[in-house]
Amino acid sequence: MIVHVGSFLDNASYVLDNYNIYEVNGVKSIELYHKCFDKSMYPFGWIAKTNDIIEPSDNIYFYIDTLFHHAFAHWVFESAIYLPLFKILKDKYPNIKIYSKEIKSYKKILCRAFDIDDTDITSVFIENSRVLFPTYQSFHIFLPHYTDSNDTVIDPKYKMYLNNFYNYFKKDNIIKDIDILYLPRGNKENFCGNDRVILIQDVLIEYISNLPNSMILNTDTMTNFNEQVDILRRSKIIVLDYGSSLNVNAFFAENSNIIVLNYDIHHEIQQILNHIYNLSQARNKIVFIKNSSTEGSNPIKVNIDISKVKYIIQKNLEEISLHNQENLS
């Protein structure tokens, strides 16, 4: 969708929900246009409704942030999947920039993965500019009331964008040279509404560090998302936390045994998140270890039986060892 903004107050924002645009924070006038860009790559992308022409010299913003843009997995699956589309728009409109409500490091890192420069991301509007929205955006993918049981069909446009996003990182002939990878839960830019601490984390880091051919990857310090995806796909066993870590990292992993610390039902009750989880499960073997107890809030303290975690890790290592022996024989 292409939106012409007449005038607005500070931090003007827009909510796109089911193809309707809602005016927020002083937006005075909105005109909608649709235009076709690359039908071969995005056959559902845009439909012409008016004869309005956007000039390459116009000030244009690509607006992809949603209500929960400050939560990592939300931004990945509600916003970042449209970064390939921004690349197409950038070729056509050199002045276009991604507008973000708040600049976060993970937004910059994902943009860099698509060779989108930091200078192409801004949180400042220029008046009388044009704003482009994706024609379909999975808004509130984690909220049950947006996944009504009567609505059983996921829009094919969303599946297309999701598939293009995944394929951008796809590589052939991956060598599985890491036996076990642990992604400790980070604390950088966490969404405060469901932040938590894994109480056994330090013990688990020490345990896995002493296993042969193991790796500890602190995603808080990662600045190259392509490298993170590469490490995930090289790993035979991946140990991680549920939530954003599961949703994002499992989505990009391939042919790995994934051990999830703790359990959450979001991927079962919410339609699009369930679709994302099913894609991950089709590419990997995923097992959940339910927490022994939780306490407190912001952050929630999660306690998990370390002996159970070690047992499952050992069983997975034995399975991999047996598989390696069978391949050699």
Q: What is the pLDDT of residues 291-313, one digit of tens each?
A: 777 776 667 788 889 999 999 99
Tell me which residue range forms the domain holding 140. Answer: 2-167
Distance CA 33, CA 129 (A): 14
The whole-number pLDDT of residue 215 equals: 98
Distance CA 24, CA 11 (A): 9
The CATH number covering residue 277 comes to 3.40.50
Dihedral angle, C-alpha 126, 4, 101, 273, nearest 10 ° = -160
Quick one: what percent of the chain has pLDDT higher than 90?
Answer: 37
Q: Please check whether residues 84 and 201 belong to one and the same domain.
A: no
Tokens found for residue 161: 């964008």
Q: Please check whether residues 32 and 137 belong to one and the same domain.
A: yes
9-13, 102-106, 221-225: segment of lowest average pLDDT: 9-13
Distance CA 39, CA 233 (A): 31
The whole-number pLDDT of residue 270 equals: 67
The whole-number pLDDT of residue 36 equals: 32
- The better pLDDT of the pair 96, 187 is held by 96
Q: Which one, of 284, 235, 292, lies nearest residue 263 by Cα?
A: 292
Q: Which parts of the chain are beta strand (E)?
A: 2-4, 13-17, 20-24, 32-33, 60-63, 97-99, 121-122, 130-132, 178-182, 196-198, 214-216, 235-241, 257-261, 285-289, 293-295, 300-303
Q: What are phi and psi of 213, to 5 degrees?
A: 55, 45
The whole-number pLDDT of residue 33 equals: 33
The whole-number pLDDT of residue 37 equals: 34
Could you give the C-alpha distances from 189 to 142, 193, 234, 237, in angstroms and in order? Answer: 19, 12, 27, 26
Boundary-marking domain end, from 120, 138, 167: 167
* Residue spans of alpha helices (H) in 130-200: 156-168
142-146, 224-228, 272-276: segment of lowest average pLDDT: 142-146
Buried b (16+ CB within 10 A) or exposed e, 206-225: ebbeeeeebbebebeebeeb
Q: Please check whether residues 15 and 159 belong to one and the same domain.
A: yes
Under 8 Å between Cβ of 182 and 69: no
Q: Please check whether residues 163 and 185 belong to one and the same domain.
A: no
The whole-number pLDDT of residue 266 equals: 57
Q: Please check whether residues 162 and 227 belong to one and the same domain.
A: no
Q: Please check whether residues 118 and 261 belong to one and the same domain.
A: no
Q: What are phi and psi of 62, to 5 degrees?
A: -100, 110
Q: What is the mean pLDDT of residues 95-116?
A: 92
Q: Please check whether residues 162 and 52 belong to one and the same domain.
A: yes
Q: Please check whether residues 162 and 180 belong to one and the same domain.
A: no
Q: Please check whether residues 270 and 163 belong to one and the same domain.
A: no
Q: How confident is the model at residue 184 (pLDDT cuts 50, 70, 90)?
A: very high
Q: Please check whether residues 118 and 190 belong to one and the same domain.
A: no
Q: How confident is the model at residue 288 (pLDDT cuts 50, 70, 90)?
A: very high
Give the pLDDT confidence of 28-84 residue by residue, as tens digits.
Answer: 333 333 333 333 333 323 322 333 456 666 777 787 877 777 788 888 988 898 898
Q: What is the mean pLDDT of residues 196-212?
A: 93
Q: Which one, of 153, 139, 160, lies nearest residue 45 by Cα?
A: 160
Instruction: Specify the pTM.
Output: 0.78
**Structural domain total, the chain:** 2
The whole-number pLDDT of residue 321 equals: 87
The set of residues, in sequence order, having a beta carbon less than 8 Å from that of 189 and lying 6+ positions away, is 70, 72, 104, 105, 106
Residue 117 has pLDDT above 80, yes or no: yes
1-15, 120-134, 139-153: segment of lowest average pLDDT: 1-15
Helix (H) or strand (E) holding 9: none
Q: What is the mean pLDDT of residues 182-190?
A: 78
Q: How many other CB atoms are there within 10 angstroms of residue 14's CB atom?
A: 20
Q: What is the mean pLDDT of residues 241-249?
A: 90
Provide the mean pLDDT of the chain.
75
Q: Please check whether residues 191 and 162 belong to one and the same domain.
A: no
Boundary-marking domain end, from 167, 195, 228: 167
- The better pLDDT of the pair 228, 7 is held by 228
Report whether the peptide linkage leading into residue 299 is cis, meaning its omega lies within 30 degrees of zero: yes
